[in-house]
Amino acid sequence: MHLFPSVVQAKVSLDRVSQFLQQTELVDEFTPSNAHGWHSIVREDILGIRATTFSWSEQDDESLTPLATRAFRLRIDDELNFELGHVNLVVGPTGSGKTALLLALLGEMHATPNGPESYIGLPRSRGIAYVPQESWILSDTIKANILFGSAYDETRYRQVVQHCGLEHDLSLFDHGDETEVGERGLTLSGGQKARVSLARAVYSAAETLLLDDVFAALDVHTARWIVEKCLKGELVRGRTVILVTHNIAVVEGVASYVVALATNGRIANQGKWTRVLEEDAALSTELDVEREEFTADVGDISKLSDMEAQKSASNGQGKLVAPEEISQGHVSWSTVKAYLSDIGGSHPLVFWGSITASLLLSQAFNVSQSYWVGYWAQQYQDHDRLSVSVSYYLAVYLGLICSDFAFRWSSFVMYLSGVMRASQKIHQALIGSILHATLRWLDTTPTSRIIVRCTQDIQTIDSPLSGMLYNLYETTASLVISLVAIISAAPIFSVMGLVLIALGGWWGQMYLKAQLPIQREKSNTRAPILGHLSATLSGLVTIRAYGAQERFIHESYLKLNNYTRATRTFYNLNRWISLRLEMASAVFAASLAVYLVYGPGGNAAITGFALGQAVGFSEMILWWVRMFNMVEVQTNSLERVEQYLHIEHEASPTPAGTPPAYWPASGNLRVENLSARYSADGPRVLHEVSFEVKSGEHVGIVGRTGSGKSSLALSLLRLIITEGQVYYDGIQTDSINLDALRSKVTIIPQAPELLSGTLRENLDPFSEFEVLANDKHAMLNDALRASGLFSLQSEEEQSRITLDSQISSGGGNLSVGQRQIIALARAIARQSKLLILDEATSAIDYETDTVIQRSLREAVSKDTTVLTIAHRLQTIMDADKILVLDSGRVAEFGPPAQLLKNKDSLFTKLVTESGDRDVLRAIVEKSTNT
């Protein structure tokens, strides 16, 4: 019967796996039309699509449309053919389906043919390389990320590194291209990740390169370098490139074919560059605005990324991810003592004393039952059968059973309540410790390790460990009572019992010496499996595009083999000690039986009682040895959890750090001599930065790539190590609790996070506006309108995003631009006094960005201070003040009109170099007059 629960669990797991395998499939062919049943036509001789509609889901139920996860449709009504051997450009407003077009070519969308001549053409046999909009970086070295399984060719590799603008970055790392980048490339900036991802595609032998907005995270000069050295270079010449970008001017001299998409997922125009510009006035106007911005001399890119590489170097000195700590020897007594204390609660001695007394009394009544039955049977031999009172002996026997049950039950209930209390306390302590960890610790610790601690180790503490500990305690009490009973009935048994104890202890020590390291290895080999699976899932499109499935499957097998090797050894060691303990128990019981039968005569009842106790005693000794060993093995999970309770933590909240209830009443911000670094032993990324912003002012923060703009934003939130003073509404921020500070500041990062749920839940995840606004829906819709979302979709659009629209985890069913817009709407709805935008509109087209910036000024309150970090000068030219950073220092600070008066200022040089100086100066003049 003890196998039945395992069988049920196995059946449930098998059903879940079977259901997953039946519902999940690679979208690699047409979905047959219900009306005509046309078959798929996949061609490799051309690159394009004809008469096909693409969707993210096969769900046709119209009732689900308002809540559909991915209701967008990409419709190719006629024929779309890209030019082979040339650079093809895909443009369009945010959310028009540019990324979807690339994924449709890769077979990542459901395709429904619109006619008998429908086809999808992609020359896979000649190799495909794909660079996603959100760079996918493996937790490996920079070199391994670029090679991506390809053979190493030093000449080609050096060319790729130079053409992708990575040469100078690598020179600033202590370990060069052997530097580990960490999970999801955490040690690299957005621009560096984009260039590493691009280098991977260029280094590959693929003839077709699909590049999704690789310039979004790059400044003008770096983007120009990539175009001149990479896209026009010999490594890309002759290869087919499909490039999605908002920065059309940057590829004006290299792109030969243009595909323009409309907001409804249809092709607005396509053809040669010159013809499309002649026919599309909006595109031509946008090009005129941008054109001069990219005509500046490329110069030396090594001057553009010093701070960027220094920041990364400070984050990753060779080995970024710290090896997982593996303890040696026995689990420390302090760890076990802490767990026992947690179970015992506020009075552990009283708690454990009560359980001990209950278990001893329970076992005493249990042993008395056997003795009483023998004594009862002896009465029939010593007295007349009719004179024996059955009711009396039966009543006593029932009393012993009830007493045994009562004390056993009371001990179990007390222990269960203590275990639940301890499990809850340990879990809360673990989660609290991780949530209060420093940004540096989170960067150097893979997520998979954290997941294993919070799942596998917590599960072990909750179930196997607690159950085995109770069994060990109960067996100990039983051994004590049985030993007393045996010695009283047959003292000679004690000698053999001591021999058995010594033998079991010897085997137990051998078992522990072998099993503890195996258990630790077993625990540590699980995290790499989860980490590899997570990385594979996040980069599945890239892996399939490169055709690298077999390599990743092989790597998965290697990690699974490491885990199963340790697991198999773990269970084999259990069989090893079980076999020896059971053999010793059988020999001991047989020897005692022979002695009692053929030895000196005695009372039959006493002899039977002694034999029963002796046999049980031998089994209990061996069971106790096994339980003791298993408990110590399982306490490895306690040890691993305890390690995460003593990690690097941010400052804990204190009563003195609670700000006044009215704070902040304004958005005044004063920064004095602020310096910052990413680690205690790392170099400074900010050097004595000082500036002051009045409440309600909009400040644009500009500078070359890696000048310290994002580091400044992190410093204001105290996410990295800082020195100096920051005053927010007159209060020094390092005197305020971190939760209070961060709850009063809103920041929109370049890659915002979205939760799985409705759009309403993403805009108001903590239901803060239920009380603040009488009409919550109107407030949230106003925020969406101000963010520019509604301007990107029509009222009749089937895939229109509303407050009830479902958002998948991480916003996977939205474009990057749409995610940024929703994050902006969430920030507007919060109405914080300090709003920080860190490249918040980098993935949004210029026209929409202009609308958003105009709406943003109208939507936020007059006393909200806005700090905008942007590569696009157009985004910040109408700001009240401009903060120019250079190598982590304040180079200039003041109104844009004032800075432009100085011909030698860095800001003036940035405007002049951009080329569209007249447009930018006109924006400043208009803003000044207004």
Can you give 365-382 as a three-state secondary structure string?
HHHHHHHHHHHHHHHHHH
Query: What's the CATH code of the domain at 627?
Result: 1.20.1560.10
Q: Mark whether 519 and 614 lie in a shared domain.
A: yes
Which pLDDT value is given to residue 911? 77
How many Cβ atoms from other residues are within 10 Å of residue 272's Cβ? Answer: 13
Q: Quickly state the pLDDT bin for 39 (edges 50, 70, 90).
A: very low
Integer Cα distance of 204 and 131 in angstroms = 12
Nearest partner of 252 among 295, 201, 216, 194, judged by Cα: 295
Task: Using CB atoms within 10 Å of the CB of residue 756, give its burial: 0 to 12 exposed, 13 to 18 middle, 19+ buried.
Answer: middle
Domain end (from 643, 660, 686): 643
> Could you tell me the two tokens for 696?
């309600």
**Nearest 5°: CA angle at 551, between 548 and 555?**
140
* Residue 270 placed within a domain: yes
Kindly tell me if the per-residue pLDDT of 295 is higher than 90.
no
**Nearest 5°: CA angle at 627, between 622 and 632?**
130
> Which 8-state DSSP code applies to residue 70?
-
C-alpha atoms less than 13 angstroms from C-alpha of 763 in its C-beta half-sphere: 28
> Could you tell me the two tokens for 891?
């180079």
Kindly tell me if the per-residue pLDDT of 25 is higher than 70.
no
Kindly tell me if the per-residue pLDDT of 33 is higher than 60.
no
Q: Mark whether 309 and 344 lie in a shared domain.
A: no
- Strand boundaries in 562-601, DSSP class E: none
> Which amino acid appears at position 172 of this protein?
L
> Which amino acid appears at position 277 of this protein?
L
Which pLDDT value is given to residue 68? 40
Asked if 788 contacts 841 with a C-beta cutoff of 8 angstroms, the reply is no
Integer Cα distance of 359 and 367 in angstroms = 12
> Could you tell me the two tokens for 125?
């046999």
Nearest partner of 328 among 154, 495, 511, 517, judged by Cα: 517
C-alpha atoms less than 13 angstroms from C-alpha of 889 in its C-beta half-sphere: 5
Kindly tell me if the per-residue pLDDT of 692 is higher than 90.
yes
> Which 8-state DSSP code applies to residue 213?
S
**Residue 359 CB contacts under 8 Å (≥ 6 apart), including other chains:** 407, 408, 411, 473, 474, 477
**Residue 357 CB contacts under 8 Å (≥ 6 apart), including other chains:** none
* Residue 710 placed within a domain: no
* Residue 709 placed within a domain: no
Q: Mark whether 352 and 287 lie in a shared domain.
A: no
**Nearest 5°: CA angle at 423, between 419 and 425?**
115
> What average pLDDT score do residues 781-806 get?
71
Q: Among the residues of 324-465, which ranges form H helices?
A: 333-344, 348-382, 390-435, 439-444, 447-452, 458-460
The residues facing 259 across adjacent strands are 90, 270
* Residue 788 placed within a domain: no
Domain around 406: 333-643
Q: Mark whether 219 and 181 lie in a shared domain.
A: yes
* Residue 338 placed within a domain: yes
Q: Quickly state the pLDDT bin for 89 (edges 50, 70, 90).
A: very high
Return the higher-pLDDT residue of 360 and 922. Answer: 360
Q: Mark whether 294 and 405 lie in a shared domain.
A: no
Which pLDDT value is given to residue 731? 92
Residue with tokens 């003593």: 646
Residue with tokens 């890209």: 82
Task: Using CB atoms within 10 Å of the CB of residue 876, give its burial: 0 to 12 exposed, 13 to 18 middle, 19+ buried.
Answer: buried
> Which amino acid appears at position 694 of this protein?
K
Q: What is the pLDDT of residues 205-237, one digit of tens each?
A: 999 999 998 887 777 778 888 888 899 889 999
**Residue 131 CB contacts under 8 Å (≥ 6 apart), including other chains:** 194, 197, 198, 200, 201, 209, 210, 211, 212, 214
Integer Cα distance of 776 and 287 in angstroms = 41
Residue with tokens 């105009």: 854
Q: What is the pLDDT of residues 305-344, one digit of tens each?
A: 444 444 444 444 445 555 555 555 567 788 888 888 989 8
Distance from CA of residue 271 to its chain's centroid? 42
Percentage of residues in the chain having pLDDT higher than 70: 83
Tell me whether strands 119-121 and 42-43 are parallel, antiparallel or unpaired.
parallel
> Which 8-state DSSP code applies to residue 117?
T
* Residue 820 placed within a domain: no
Kindly tell me if the per-residue pLDDT of 666 is higher than 50.
yes
Q: What is the pLDDT of residues 122-146, one digit of tens each?
A: 888 889 999 998 889 888 889 999 9
Return the higher-pLDDT residue of 890 and 924. Answer: 890
Q: Mark whether 301 and 423 lie in a shared domain.
A: no
Q: Mark whether 273 and 338 lie in a shared domain.
A: no
Q: What is the pLDDT of residues 172-200, one digit of tens each?
A: 677 888 888 877 777 777 788 889 999 99
Region for 95 from its dihedrals, namely left if φ exceeds 0, alpha if ψ lies in -120 to 50, beta otherwise: left
Domain end (from 582, 612, 643): 643
Integer Cα distance of 439 and 445 in angstroms = 10
Q: What is the pLDDT of residues 140-178, one digit of tens each?
A: 889 999 999 899 999 999 999 999 988 877 876 778 888
> Which amino acid appears at position 249 of this protein?
A
Domain count, the chain: 2
**Residue 110 CB contacts under 8 Å (≥ 6 apart), including other chains:** 27, 31, 54, 55, 56, 57, 58
Integer Cα distance of 799 and 69 in angstroms = 9
> What average pLDDT score do residues 813-834 get?
83
Euclidean distance between the first and final Cα of the chain, in Å? 83
**Residue 880 CB contacts under 8 Å (≥ 6 apart), including other chains:** 697, 698, 699, 895
Asked if 37 contacts 69 with a C-beta cutoff of 8 angstroms, the reply is no
* Main-chain dihedrals φ then ψ at residue 437, nearest 5 degrees: -70, 155
Please compute Rg for the chain using Cα positions: 36
Nearest partner of 476 among 631, 638, 637, judged by Cα: 631
Most confident of 391-405, 497-511, 854-868: 391-405
Nearest partner of 157 among 675, 244, 148, 226, judged by Cα: 148
What is the largest distance, in Å, between two alpha-carbon atoms of the chain?
A: 125
Asked if 769 contacts 779 with a C-beta cutoff of 8 angstroms, the reply is yes
Q: What is the pLDDT of residues 488-540, one digit of tens each?
A: 766 666 677 677 778 877 887 888 788 878 888 887 888 888 888 888 988 89
Domain end (from 643, 674, 689): 643
* Residue 484 placed within a domain: yes
Integer Cα distance of 466 and 477 in angstroms = 17
Which pLDDT value is given to residue 791? 64
Q: Quickly state the pLDDT bin for 673 (edges 50, 70, 90).
A: very high
Which pLDDT value is given to residue 514? 84
> What average pLDDT score do residues 113-125 get?
86
Q: Mark whether 293 and 166 lie in a shared domain.
A: yes
Return the higher-pLDDT residue of 616 and 46. Answer: 46
**Nearest 5°: CA angle at 90, between 89 and 93?**
135
Q: Quickly state the pLDDT bin for 675 (edges 50, 70, 90).
A: very high
Query: What's the CATH code of the domain at 257?
Result: 3.40.50.300
Summary count for the chain: helices (H), strands (E): 33, 23
> Which amino acid appears at position 473 of this protein?
Y
Asked if 307 contacts 887 with a C-beta cutoff of 8 angstroms, the reply is yes
Q: Quickly state the pLDDT bin for 298 (edges 50, 70, 90).
A: low
Task: Using CB atoms within 10 Å of the CB of residue 10, give its burial: 0 to 12 exposed, 13 to 18 middle, 19+ buried.
Answer: exposed
Integer Cα distance of 752 and 811 in angstroms = 9
Nearest partner of 305 among 158, 461, 172, 450, judged by Cα: 172
Asked if 527 contacts 560 with a C-beta cutoff of 8 angstroms, the reply is no
Integer Cα distance of 300 and 122 in angstroms = 37
Integer Cα distance of 172 and 728 in angstroms = 35
Integer Cα distance of 875 and 375 in angstroms = 97
* Residue 795 placed within a domain: no
> Which amino acid appears at position 153 of this protein?
D
Mean of all residue pLDDT scores within the chain? 80
Integer Cα distance of 250 and 228 in angstroms = 10
**Residue 744 CB contacts under 8 Å (≥ 6 apart), including other chains:** 663, 664, 728, 832, 833, 834
Most confident of 211-215, 439-443, 826-830, 852-856: 211-215
Return the higher-pLDDT residue of 414 and 710. Answer: 414
The residues facing 202 across adjacent strands are none
> What average pLDDT score do residues 476-481 get?
85
Integer Cα distance of 484 and 493 in angstroms = 11
> What average pLDDT score do residues 283-287 get?
64
* Main-chain dihedrals φ then ψ at residue 886, nearest 5 degrees: -145, 115
Asked if 104 contacts 74 with a C-beta cutoff of 8 angstroms, the reply is yes
Return the higher-pLDDT residue of 31 and 602. Answer: 602
Which pLDDT value is given to residue 34? 45
Kindly tell me if the per-residue pLDDT of 1 is higher than 90.
no
Tell me whether strands 881-886 and 865-869 are parallel, antiparallel or unpaired.
unpaired
Kindly tell me if the per-residue pLDDT of 40 is higher than 80.
no
Asked if 245 contacts 89 with a C-beta cutoff of 8 angstroms, the reply is yes
Q: What is the pLDDT of residues 602-647, one digit of tens each?
A: 566 666 676 676 667 767 777 787 788 778 878 888 888 988 998 8
Q: Quickly state the pLDDT bin for 414 (edges 50, 70, 90).
A: very high
Q: Mark whether 217 and 137 lie in a shared domain.
A: yes
Q: Mark whether 359 and 291 lie in a shared domain.
A: no
Q: Mark whether 498 and 406 lie in a shared domain.
A: yes
> What average pLDDT score do residues 565-583 get?
86
Q: Mark whether 221 and 293 lie in a shared domain.
A: yes
